[in-house]
Amino acid sequence: MKQQQLVLNERPNGLPNADTFAFKEINVENPGHEQLLLKTLYISVDPYMRGRMADGPSYIEPFQIGEPLSGGVVAQVVTSKSEQFQQGDIVTGMLNFQEYHVVEANQVRKVNTFGLRPSVALGPLGMPGLTAYFGMMHIGEPKQGETVVISGAAGAVGQVAGQLAKRAGAHVIGIVGSKEKANYITKTLGYDHAIEYKHGDVPRQLKEACPNGIDIYFENVGGEISDAVWPLLNTFARVPVCGAISSYNLEAGEYDIGIRVQTYLIKARAKMQGFLVGDYADHFKEAYEELGEAIASGELKYEETIREGFESIPDAFIGLFTGENIGKQLVKVAEQE
């Protein structure tokens, strides 16, 4: 049996486009002892993958040209040669982007979807949810009455981060790129205020929305939006740095130029800290439990933007950088059976 696989065709310079990707037909193998045959249901496309498309030192090895892209996948067990899994089980893992997988049983973990669509394991109950959790709760540490600002507030991470801050009693302001997203975060998620950066004058909008300054800035986008945040940081402010999507598509030789943060960090005695979800592996269990309960009870809400069909992965990925998604951007590859 044949299947499609998505490979890196060439390294992008600037924004990825159709030439960045190539589809390849490969065989579906048979699972051996302690192996599983999986069918891909959902694939997650994430901004951090842009970093892996470049060739250079980072926290994660670069994708290789002609080799498969990979990322978060939710799949269903077709054939199990392991006692740990049964046919029909829903599993998740970091897997190549292809329609079927033969994996060792320990390469994936079974998903408790709390009765929800299994894609939840790629969103609020997956990497983005955990990222929001550790960034907000372990670095941000929101307290009752504090002011929390989140950029990329309607994204996969932002939507969870803001609700966690609300649960802690903070006043939460989200920065978003459209009216639709503004409505989503204020009306559905319960953020106190939305700033639409495309309306311009972000410094003025921020000042008006944060008369008491900013205690936590959850950084997802970088760029000029963040430049406007620094002067408003309160004493002992915390800035979990999760992403800087505005800078991911710089062309070769371009630098991310803006306002240097040093004097603002001194004035506010503020802390700015980059982090990766993997650094908190010791705390995954408690985070899954807390997020799972909040999602199952309906307290923690979330949105997904789903494209259909394996062939739509490139468009779904490129769309991340034009801000078209609300919540987690996913590609649905096959129906659950």
Smallest separation (angstroms) from a second copy to the CB of 161: 15
Closer Cβ to a second copy, 68 or 213, answer by number: 213
Smallest separation (angstroms) from a second copy to the CB of 59: 6
Smallest separation (angstroms) from a second copy to the CB of 21: 23
Dig out the tokens for 180 from the structure: 């639709």
Q: Which of 247, 305, 312, 336 binds a second copy (CB under 8 A)?
A: 247
Smallest separation (angstroms) from a second copy to the CB of 239: 9
End-to-end, the C-alpha distance of the chain in Å comes to 19
Chain position carrying tokens 């499609």: 4
**Three-class SS state of 282:** helix
Of the ranges 155-163, 198-206, 217-225, 286-294, which one interacts with a second copy (CB under 8 A)?
217-225
- Residue 23 neighbours by CB under 8 Å, 6+ apart: 4, 5, 6, 7, 311
CA distance 11 to 20: 6
Instruction: Map residues 56-75 to x or -, x wherever contact with a second copy holds by CB under 8 A.
Output: -xxx----------------
The total of other beta-carbon atoms located within 10 Å of residue 156's CB is: 33
CA distance 9 to 163: 39
CA distance 278 to 135: 12
Q: Which of 113, 226, 325, 329 binds a second copy (CB under 8 A)?
A: 226
Residue 242 binds a second copy, judged by CB under 8 A? yes
Q: Which of 12, 128, 140, 243 binds a second copy (CB under 8 A)?
A: 243
Residues in contact with a second copy, counted by CB under 8 A, come to a total of: 39
Give yes or no for a contact between 219 and 256, defined as CB atoms under 8 angstroms apart: no
Smallest separation (angstroms) from a second copy to the CB of 57: 8
Instruction: Map residues 265-294 to x or -, x wherever contact with a second copy holds by CB under 8 A.
Output: xxxxxxxxxxxx--x---------------
Give yes or no for a contact between 158 and 152, defined as CB atoms under 8 angstroms apart: yes
DSSP letters, 156-191, are TTHHHHHHHHHHTT-EEEEEESSHHHHHIIIIIS--
Closer Cβ to a second copy, 14 or 169, answer by number: 14
Dig out the tokens for 229 from the structure: 């945040």
Closer Cβ to a second copy, 188 or 273, answer by number: 273
Q: Which of 46, 215, 219, 304 binds a second copy (CB under 8 A)?
A: 219
Dig out the tokens for 197 from the structure: 């950066």
Q: Which of 263, 286, 293, 309 binds a second copy (CB under 8 A)?
A: 263
Smallest separation (angstroms) from a second copy to the CB of 247: 6
Smallest separation (angstroms) from a second copy to the CB of 231: 9
- DSSP run (H or E) holding 266: helix 262-268
CA distance 238 to 137: 11
Q: Which of 22, 26, 102, 241 binds a second copy (CB under 8 A)?
A: 241
Closer Cβ to a second copy, 264 or 302, answer by number: 264
The total of other beta-carbon atoms located within 10 Å of residue 209's CB is: 19
Residue 222 binds a second copy, judged by CB under 8 A? yes
Dig out the tokens for 211 from the structure: 């008369």
Q: Which of 68, 203, 223, 319 binds a second copy (CB under 8 A)?
A: 223
Residue 26 binds a second copy, judged by CB under 8 A? no
- Residue 25 neighbours by CB under 8 Å, 6+ apart: 2, 3, 4, 5
What does the binding site for a second copy look like in residue numbers (CB under 8 A)? Answer: 51, 57-59, 219, 222-223, 226-227, 235, 241-244, 247-248, 255-276, 279
